[in-house]
């Protein structure tokens, strides 16, 4: 059988890939890799970069490119047959990865290159960093364990991959498994027209009259922020915060409770096998932060700075709801609604006032023009490209010499069988192959409102910020100049620094010259009026304390969970979350809220004991952007310094060295606090 997953093409071909191709393709590549690695390890001559590391990189890259297609399709166009093939493949892949990570002969072979002072001295900084990282990762994969413990470690890793995937699938199924059918138009009061049209279109797709609301973000948020009906808001809220749990309208149907406990037990045992006191300690080894106490102190410090402001903001919200609406007992499903009412009252500004000024075509062209100006590149759309869905757009990036530098795929709209949220995934990594550069390729995925009829997709300003965030990740991946995959682009960057480039790009969404690029009314083509821009700036820090404290609550919950988890104790997940909320939250909660059951970042998304990374990296990104404000937003020297110091080196150089190279000093927390208008205590 001709298998499209085994065909080597410059760019991915999706249309020919069928679920039946997945398992055979994976098995063939894994078999070929195993044979090739055995041959590499029986060489008589001393191991070098050329005769060991380079061939290993080529084997890894072929596997990565093939699996990236499969994983990507699983996220964006899931189906029963695709899911079955993916789930069948996952243990095979992890068995191979663990087998390689625990291969003593391979470890000693790579170690011999590091110990050969003459050979090692000839390597460049990227090659040395790759070898350092690989030897570290061998140890983290249990290379030094005795056979019985090593076998147990491998089994835990394989089980974790399956548990995490099941967690993610349960969340997707639970999100898609609940809808609310509205037939009474009075129930729609307050909801914006675009959301009502979307609900009618969704109902029509199910051959229903009236309107159908879902738990996908565009539908859910429209109700929670704007619906006048507290009963409708409560119904949507309860369905959303009980997804994949033992509570709510679909209680126990896709319950993640057992999977969560199993994941934490597996992680705790993994860390214990390697003599770490807890999983948090284990997870920090490859990160910028080195000690659990350092992370906890950082988060508590921010929480201490933030809580007083958050309390004031919530008190203002309570007073407003009581005085203007005679509501004296705010419920969780009231917070977003009355916050929006307060924002409109104080600033005469609603997110819906801004939406007409952010049509998708204008936002994209403006974002690209900004990147072109900052980094001296050119971005062009590519047509007639093989894609996985007709909504997908494809773009190429060229350097100043008109050489193709990278490609990215943009999938912006929410739909059935697509994971919620927003993310960037690398498909292909920059590396040198036969003296030619393999260009990096990225997937950028969001879940925004789609176009309705002849009206283009209209984004909120928050949508625009999300898009800039993911584009920032992709720029880190695509603009690297490193020629070795292990530290090229986003590879090799410590997890608590990987959000730096994405959060850096968010800052541009508030700058008037950039808003002139991305914001024009979709009907009149008029620029965003100064009056609206001034309101935006005035409202920028609206409830910034509550926003910050919410993120810190998530980060502290995640980190404490992996720092304190004890498999012998019962109900720890909920107990730790309750303790974190009691100390840090100022908002009301209901007992049935099980947000942790859909916390994919931590239980299936790679952020275990790492959710703090968002704030850790934001300290760096805020400090860096302040230099642009000091030097002039488009100062050529500053732009070039950021490109050369931050984006191009990938993971080849320690991030603190790169930060100091750009900023001329160590990072300070001041710019972040200023960004949120929080007073330093």
| Residues in contact with 423: Cβ distance below 8 Å, sequence separation at least 6, in sequence order | 445, 470
Residue 404 phi, psi dihedral angles, 5° rounding: -65, 125
How far is the C-alpha of 173 from the C-alpha of 162, rounded, in Å?
16
| Residues in contact with 92: Cβ distance below 8 Å, sequence separation at least 6, in sequence order | 23, 26, 27, 30
Active site residue 470: yes
Find out whether 88 and 80 touch, Cβ atoms under 8 Å: no
How far is the C-alpha of 293 from the C-alpha of 301, rounded, in Å?
12
How far is the C-alpha of 65 from the C-alpha of 6, rounded, in Å?
10
Q: Cβ of 569: how many Cβ atoms within 10 Å?
A: 10
Task: Say whether 381 sits in a helix, a strand or coil.
Answer: strand
How far is the C-alpha of 385 from the C-alpha of 387, rounded, in Å?
6
Choose, from 57, 360, 470, 506, the residue flagged as catalytic.
470
DSSP string, 646-670: IITTTTSS-HHHHHHHHHSS---SH
Query: Locate tokens 């943009």: which residue?
Result: 410
DSSP string, 211-229: EEEESSHHHHHHHHHH-S-
Find out whether 73 and 17 touch, Cβ atoms under 8 Å: yes
- Tallying the residues shown for the chain, one arrives at 681
Task: Say whether 278 sits in a helix, a strand or coil.
Answer: coil
| DSSP strands (E only) in 469-536 | none
Question: Cα dist. 315→224, 279, 320, 330, 543 in Å?
Answer: 20, 38, 9, 11, 11
Residue 492 sits at the vertex; the CA angle it makes with 489 and 497, to the nearest 5 degrees, is 85
Find out whether 610 and 496 touch, Cβ atoms under 8 Å: yes
| Residues in contact with 634: Cβ distance below 8 Å, sequence separation at least 6, in sequence order | 373, 374, 513
Name the residues annotated as catalytic: 470
């Amino acid at each position: 059988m001709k298998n499209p997953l085994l065909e080597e093409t410059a760019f991915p071909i999706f249309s020919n890939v069928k679920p039946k191709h997945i398992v055979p393709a994976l098995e063939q590549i894994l078999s070929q890799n195993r044979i090739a690695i055995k041959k590499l390890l029986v060489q008589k001559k001393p191991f070098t970069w050329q005769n060991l590391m380079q061939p290993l990189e080529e084997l890894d890259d072929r596997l990565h490119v093939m699996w990236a297609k499969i994983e990507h399709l699983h996220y964006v166009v899931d189906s029963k047959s695709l899911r079955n093939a993916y789930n069948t493949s996952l243990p095979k892949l992890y068995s191979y990865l663990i087998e390689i990570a625990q291969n003593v002969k391979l470890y000693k072979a790579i170690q011999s290159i590091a110990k050969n002072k003459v050979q090692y001295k000839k390597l460049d900084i990227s090659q040395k960093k790759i070898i350092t990282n690989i030897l570290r990762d061998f140890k983290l994969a249990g290379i030094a364990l005795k056979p019985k413990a090593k076998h147990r470690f491998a089994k835990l890793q394989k089980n974790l991959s399956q548990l995490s995937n099941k967690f993610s699938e349960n969340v997707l199924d639970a999100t898609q498994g609940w809808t609310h059918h509205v037939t009474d138009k009075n129930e729609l009061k307050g909801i914006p027209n675009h959301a009502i049209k979307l609900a009618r279109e969704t109902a029509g797709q199910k051959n229903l009259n009236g309107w159908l609301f879902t738990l996908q973000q565009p539908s859910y948020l429209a109700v929670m922020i704007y619906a006048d009906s507290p009963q409708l808001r409560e119904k949507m809220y309860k369905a959303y915060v009980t997804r994949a749990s033992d509570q709510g309208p679909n209680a126990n149907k896709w319950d993640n409770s057992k999977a969560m406990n199993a994941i934490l037990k597996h992680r705790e045992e993994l860390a214990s096998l390697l003599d770490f006191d807890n999983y948090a300690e284990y997870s920090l080894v490859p990160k910028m932060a080195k000690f659990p106490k350092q992370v906890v102190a950082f988060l508590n410090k921010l929480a201490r700075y933030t809580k007083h402001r958050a309390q004031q903001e919530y008190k203002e919200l309570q007073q407003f709801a009581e005085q203007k609406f005679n509501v004296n007992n705010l419920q969780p499903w009231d917070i977003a609604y009355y916050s929006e009412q307060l924002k409109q009252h104080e600033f005469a500004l609603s997110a819906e006032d801004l939406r007409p000024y952010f049509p998708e075509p204008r936002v994209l062209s403006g974002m690209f023009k900004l990147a072109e100006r900052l980094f001296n590149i050119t971005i062009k759309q590519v047509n007639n490209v093989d894609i996985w869905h007709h909504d997908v757009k494809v773009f190429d990036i060229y350097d100043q010499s008109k050489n193709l530098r990278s490609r990215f795929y943009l999938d912006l709209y929410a739909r059935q069988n697509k994971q919620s949220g927003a993310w960037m995934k690398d498909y292909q990594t920059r590396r040198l192959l036969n003296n030619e550069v393999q260009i990096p390729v990225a997937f950028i995925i969001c879940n925004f409102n789609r176009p309705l009829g002849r009206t283009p997709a209209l984004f909120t300003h928050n949508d625009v910020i999300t898009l800039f965030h993911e584009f920032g990740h992709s720029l880190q991946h695509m603009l690297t100049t490193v020629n070795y995959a292990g530290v090229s682009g986003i590879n090799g960057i410590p997890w608590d620094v990987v959000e730096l480039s994405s959060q850096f790009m968010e800052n541009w969404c508030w700058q008037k010259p950039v808003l002139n690029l991305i914001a024009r009314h979709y009907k009149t083509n008029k620029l965003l009026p100064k009056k609206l821009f001034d309101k935006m700036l005035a409202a920028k820090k609206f409830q910034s304390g509550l926003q910050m404290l919410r993120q810190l609550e998530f980060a502290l919950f995640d980190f404490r969970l992996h720092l304190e988890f004890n498999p012998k104790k019962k109900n720890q997940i909920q107990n730790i979350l309750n303790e974190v909320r009691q100390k840090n939250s100022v908002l009301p909660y209901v007992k049935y809220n099980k947000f942790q059951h859909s916390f994919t970042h931590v239980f299936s998304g790679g952020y275990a004991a790492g959710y703090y990374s968002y704030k850790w990296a934001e300290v760096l990104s805020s400090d860096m952007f302040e230099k642009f404000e000091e030097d002039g937003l488009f100062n050529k020297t500053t732009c070039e310094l950021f490109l050369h110091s931050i984006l191009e080196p990938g993971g080849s150089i320690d991030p603190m060295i790169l930060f100091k190279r750009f900023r001329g000093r160590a990072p300070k927390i001041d710019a972040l606090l200023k960004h949120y208008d929080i007073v330093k205590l």
